[in-house]
Amino acid sequence: MKHLILKHPACVFAIATATVAGSFIGAVSSSNVVQAAIPVLSPQAAGLLQPEGQDSEQIERNLSILNEIDELVRLPMEYTDAGEAMASPDELDDELVEIVAQAGNTTRKAKRSTTKKTTTTRTQAPRAQQNSATRSRTAAPRRVQDPRATLIKREEDRGRQAVRRGDYFEASKIFFGLLEREKNPIRLLQIRFILGRTLQELKLHQVAAFPYYEIIRSEGKSNPKNKYVRQALERLTVAADALESDILLNYAVKQINEEDFPASNRDMLFFRRGEVRYRDGDFAEAVKEFNRVRSTSIFYNRARYQIALSMVEAGQLERAENVFGALAEVNSDAGVTNKVRVNAMMGKARTLYQRKLFAEAIDAYREIPRDTEQWHDALFESTWALLQDGRFRSALSNFHSLHSPFYDDFYQPESLLLRAIVYHYICRYDEMETTLRLFEKVYGPVQKELRATLMSTSPSSAVSLYREVRKIDEQYEEIKKATNAKRRSTMQIQVPFLVARQVLREGDVRRNLSYIRNLEAEKKRIEQAPAPWRESRVGRYARRVVERRLVATQTATGRLIRRHLEKIQVELAGHFEQASLIRLDMLSGKKEAVKKEIAGKGLVRDSVDEKQDRSFYIQNGYDFWPFKGEYWLDEIGNYHYLGVKACE
């Protein structure tokens, strides 16, 4: 057998990058809290242009929040002994329960004090009351305002001033404090909404999600058309999108009414709703939702890709191929290695394979640029197409690249077994034996380590599994350099490296890790906030919310990782059974070959699948020389197997 290297003249690839800026729409005029009858018609009149560093979008957002505060001050104030505390979806917050209890006691004391004082005044000063009655004949009676109402309005005004100067830390403190004082359920809804808005301006999306959730929980069923229920669903969807949280997205998207969602943000709603339908297995509805995303939206390319995937799942392969092809063509100007373009090309190749158009699929896979992360997958998947098309020599050429040292950290037991099977087809038993030994050498220790990992970690220790896989993800280069198992064991890596790398490629694990990283970024913002805010009630509440969500999500991710590890363990056991069967076939084939040699029949060494020799490649512009055991990165993918089959 000979492995020969083919080097084609180099191609130069242009790499282009594109950035898309998102936008936030807010908007409205506002009115002063103290002088509610005087409208503020412009940012200049509102005094929003004075603080430095506020752009037009920031000013619009400020105006939107100020408008909500102005609407709040117009609502009547009521005082009762009952009150609600803001809770997270997982559990009611202990501190807020205490706040409500304290607020209720304060209210009852204030009521008793007011009643006593009023009675005393009436008995001790009847003459003053008579004089007051006489004056009332000529003037309207004066309304005595409850001092608590004055205090709350003063706080609302302070909150308004904080928003005007862009101090959302102070504003969130003020409105969080108002939760314990306000007992009017309508006003409480609005205070929660304003609190959520101020927290989102601080990019604390997870913390902001809970006030919105409380609005939806308390009013969603009894009063779904309530303005703040609709707006809370909208803002919760925005928070879920920023956090990449599937749980929040599923909750919000399934409840929101399209007509209640701002037109400017509906593309995001359509895309996220399509994702939910896709995960639910309703592919026809998913296509409808994705197809509503406008071509001008930043979600458009992702929506088109998801349309094609939905069509594949629905069995509409030809239509899916057309969508993939059109998406790749539209993004061709973005650069050869543009991620959208390459993903679409991969999708088209896979669809062609499913349609059993193997020759076309092979050509499509060969179009995938080398300088992309999808190239290794394209090389492996094209090998399947080559085998289906009966092109064994080309398949073996691909295997020589796939099993080079450059891909030692890829989990690919199936490709080694396929290589052994191809050698069996062409009766190359020595190469077949070498390949099976390589499979056992690489994946025998992996199977042993994986079994030990699963036995030593119980389902209750899910967080430890998460931490192990996360460590491998973050220290990949360092761990990769520790080439042998002994050196890796000194780094205290419990999960087999190859298996961990495979788990990290799973879509659900990647999404959870993205959510966790967003939570960690939010926790860091809380830690870097001004000390007075961190030590305030809202600061302590925010820290607790994020820490609880981190622990819960890490635990869920650990359980998810364990399920993937258990699945890989079962699959790997199946691969070893297949390896044993292949070895039995190999021994049987060797026995038959020996019998034929003894009988003097000899061996017929025909070409595997093509007739080209060295001169063919030289005449077509290739450099050509024998493989001598050294691998070079620029040669990967250019090997060509020139062995012949040794079957009669």
Two structure tokens written together for 161: 């001033």
pTM value is 0.71
pLDDT of residue 54: 59
Q: Across all residues in the chain, what is the average pLDDT?
A: 76
Dihedral angle at the C-alpha atoms of 531, 536, 542, 548, nearest 10 degrees? 100
Q: What is the pLDDT of residue 635?
A: 54
Q: Which of 135-149, 299-313, 378-392, 559-573 is the least confident region?
A: 135-149
Q: What is the mean pLDDT of residues 554-561?
A: 94
Q: How many residues does the chain have?
A: 648
pLDDT at 184: 83
Q: Are 635 and 405 in contact (CB under 8 A)?
A: no
Q: Which residues contact 153 (CB under 8 A, 6 or more apart)?
A: 33, 34, 73
Evaluate if residue 604 carries a pLDDT over 70.
no
Cα 253 to Cα 128: distance, rounded to the nearest angstrom: 63
467-498 per-position pLDDT tens digit: 989 988 888 777 776 655 554 554 556 788 88
User: Residue 61: which pLDDT band, with cuts at 50, 70 and 90?
Assistant: confident
Burial label for 53, CB within 10 Å (0-12, 13-18, 19+), is: exposed
The closest of 49, 81, 48 to 65, measured between CA atoms, is 48
* Structural domain boundaries in the chain: 53-114+149-255
Residue 63: predicted pLDDT: 82
pLDDT classification of 539: cutoffs 50, 70, 90: very high
pLDDT at 48: 45
- C-alpha 171/C-alpha 396 separation (Å) is 67
Cβ neighbors of 116 (< 8 A, separation 6 or more) are none
Share of the chain above pLDDT 70, in %: 69
Residues 537, 542, 543, 545: is their CA dihedral positive or negative?
A: positive
Question: What pLDDT, on the 0 to 100 scale, is given for residue 6?
Answer: 37
The arithmetic mean of pLDDT across residues 73-92, rounded, is 51
Residue 574 CA, distance from chain mean position: 32
Tell me, what's the pLDDT at 20?
A: 34
Query: How far is the C-alpha of 110 from the C-alpha of 293, rounded, in Å?
Result: 55
Q: What is the pLDDT of residue 13?
A: 30
Determine the pLDDT at residue 601. 55
pLDDT digits (tens, 9 = 90+) for 516-527: 999 999 999 999
pLDDT at 353 > cutoff 90? yes
Residue ranges of alpha helices (H) inside 75-146 are 94-124, 126-136
For residues 339 and 54, the model is more confident at 339
Lowest model confidence (mean pLDDT) among 35-49, 291-305, 609-623: 35-49
Q: Which of 8-22, 71-85, 165-179, 218-232 has the largest mean confidence?
A: 165-179
Backbone angles phi, psi at 627, to 5 degrees: -80, 130
* Residue 211 three-state SS: helix
What tokens were used for 494?
A: 């419990």
**Is the CB of residue 183 less than 8 Å from the CB of residue 82?**
yes
**CA dist 39 to 26, 32, 150, 161, 602, Å?**
18, 7, 21, 16, 102
Which of the residue ranges 44-48, 101-105, 509-513, 596-600 has the most confident prediction, judged by mean pLDDT? 509-513
Q: Which of 111-125, 192-206, 590-604 has the highest mean pLDDT?
A: 192-206
Which two three-digit tokens encode residue 13?
């690839």
Q: What is the mean pLDDT of residues 416-433?
A: 87
Q: What are phi and psi for residue 165, nearest 5 degrees? A: -95, 5
pLDDT over threshold 50, residue 242: yes
Q: Is the per-residue pLDDT at 303 higher than 90?
A: yes
| Sequential DSSP letters for 556-607 | HHHHHHHHHHHHHHHHHHHHHHHHHHHHHHHHHHHHHHHHHHHTT-----EE
Q: Is the pLDDT of residue 73 over 50?
A: yes
Residue in the block written with tokens 């790499």: 15
Residue 273 predicted with pLDDT over 50: yes
pLDDT band at 180 (very low <50, low <70, confident <90, very high): confident
pLDDT class of 69 with cuts at 50, 70, 90: confident
Report percent pLDDT > 90 for the chain.
Answer: 35
pLDDT exceeds 60 at position 369: yes
Does the structure show a pLDDT above 90 at 565? yes
The pLDDT tens digits for 428-455 are 888 889 899 999 999 999 999 999 888 8
Is 206 a residue whose pLDDT tops 50?
yes
What is the average pLDDT across 543-570?
Answer: 94
pLDDT: which is higher, 149 or 549? 549
The SS3 call for residue 457 is coil
pLDDT digits (tens, 9 = 90+) for 109-130: 444 444 444 443 444 444 444 4
- Please return the burial class of 155, using the count of CB atoms within 10 Å of its CB with bins 0-12, 13-18 and 19+: middle
Q: Report whether pLDDT(45) > 70.
A: no
From residue 28, alpha-carbon distances to 22, 276, 290 in Å are 20, 32, 31
Q: What is the pLDDT of residue 212?
A: 92
557 or 647: whose pLDDT is higher? 557
Banded pLDDT at 607 (limits 50, 70, 90): very low
